[in-house]
Amino acid sequence: MYDFKSGTLTSGGQTLSLDDASGELCFVSHAHSDHTEAFSKKREVFASQETFTLVGKEPVARKLPGITLHHAGHMLGARQLFARLDGGTFAYTGDFSLHDSYTARAAEILKCDTLMIDSTYCLPQMRFPKRYDVLAKMEKFVKANSNSLVVFGAYSTGKAQELVSFLNRECGIAPVVGARAAKMCAAYEKCGVRLDYIEAGSEEAARAQVSILPPPEVNFSAGARIAAQTGKSVKTAVATGWAAASRFPVDEAFPLSDHADFADTMRYIYGSGASTIICANANPGAAAHYLRSIGINAVEKGEANPGVQTKLDGIRA
C-alpha cells in the first residue's frame, strides 16, 4: 500500500521511501543531487545499475516483490517505479521526459490507479518548443560562430553529457568540460555511453572552440573576461527548460529541457488512467492546486488522501 502521510510504499513486508531518505530502504530515481540523499545517509538503496555508478558506488542488485523499474528519459540511469499493491497499482515517475535524448531512453506512460508524478513544469505557462527545433537552432548557433569561442552553461550531471553528445554527433566537436562534468563524463563512459570531450586546463583545451561550464560561470561578464584573456570573440549560451520562462544574461538561451513540459505532464496524467495524482519534487503545491482546479483528484506528496478528505467533507455537510 501507499501511505499518503509518510509518502512511503509498503510491498511484500518492505517499506520503501521514494527519492527521500526517510526510510531504511530508499528508491533513488536518478543521480541528480536533489534525489540522492539516501546514498549520503547510507540507507539501503534501490536504483538502476547506472545510478549507482554515476554516484560513485558499487551497484547493488536488489529485487523487490511486485515492483518493477522502467526507463524515465531525463538522464542516463533515470527510472520510474511501478508497484502492484494490495489496494491497486501505483507508479512514481521521478524526473521524467517522454522523448529519447542522446543519452537516455524515453519514459513510457505506465497505466496505474495512483500516480506520483514529477510536477516541475506542471503549470500551463511551461511549454517547450519541439526538441528537434531547439537542437537545430543550437547546431546553427555553434556553426555560425566557428570563429568565436562558444561557452555553454549546463549542469555537470546529465545536461553536460547531453551537450557533449550533441556537439560530438551534430557538430563534429569535442568540447572542453570542467572537472566535475569530466568526472561525470567518465562515469557515463563506464556505463557504455561514448563521449568525446577535453578536460579543462589541458594543452588541447586552449585550441578548442566550444566549452561547457557550470551555469553560474556563464554570463556576459564572464564572456567579456574570457574575451580579454584570449583576445578572441566569445559567445555565451545556456541550455535549460527555464529559458522558456526566464531571461538569462547570455547571448543565446536555448529551452532544451530534460523534463516533461506542461503538455507532456498532462499527457502522462491522462494516459496513465490514474484516479489519484500525487505531485512530487518541484512545485508540488502549485501543481496540485492547478490540477484540482481542472477537476483532477490531486494532492502534493505528504498530504492526506483526497478520497478520504472528500468522505469527511460529505459527513460534515
Angle 209-212-216 (CA atoms, 0-180°, nearest 5)? 130
- Binding residues for Zn ion, total number by CB under 5 A: 2
Least distance in angstroms from the C-beta of 133 to Zn ion: 23
Contact predicate 138/166, CB 8 Å: yes
Q: What pairs with residue 138 in β-bridges? A: none
Angle 223-244-262 (CA atoms, 0-180°, nearest 5)? 150
- C-beta closer to Zn ion: residue 123 or 174: 123
Least distance in angstroms from the C-beta of 73 to Zn ion: 10
Strand 210-213 with 149-153, pairing: parallel
Instruction: Give the binding range for Zn ion (CB under 5 A) out of 50-58, 90-98, 226-234, 241-249.
Output: 90-98
- C-beta closer to Zn ion: residue 72 or 83: 72
x/- binding map, residues 259-298, to Zn ion, per CB under 5 A? Answer: ----------------------------------------
- What's the rounded Cα separation, in Å, for the pair 309 and 300? 14
Contact predicate 263/127, CB 8 Å: yes
- C-beta closer to Zn ion: residue 45 or 150: 45
Q: Indicate the SS3 state at residue 294.
A: coil
Q: 61 to each of 14, 45, 51, 52, 64, how far by Cα in Å?
A: 16, 10, 12, 10, 10
Contact predicate 291/277, CB 8 Å: yes
Per rule CB under 5 A, is residue 32 in the interface with Zn ion? yes
Instruction: Give the binding range for Zn ion (CB under 5 A) out of 27-35, 137-145, 241-249, 309-317.
Output: 27-35
Instruction: Give the binding range for Zn ion (CB under 5 A) out of 13-21, 88-96, 117-125, 302-310.
Output: 88-96
Least distance in angstroms from the C-beta of 80 to Zn ion: 13
Instruction: Give the binding range for Zn ion (CB under 5 A) out of 8-16, 26-34, 96-104, 202-210.
Output: 26-34
Residue type for position 36: T
Least distance in angstroms from the C-beta of 95 to Zn ion: 4
Per rule CB under 5 A, is residue 95 in the interface with Zn ion? yes
User: For the chain, first and last CA: distance in Å?
Assistant: 29
- What's the rounded Cα separation, in Å, for the pair 166 and 171? 7
Least distance in angstroms from the C-beta of 282 to Zn ion: 9
Applying CB under 5 A, which residues contact Zn ion?
32, 95
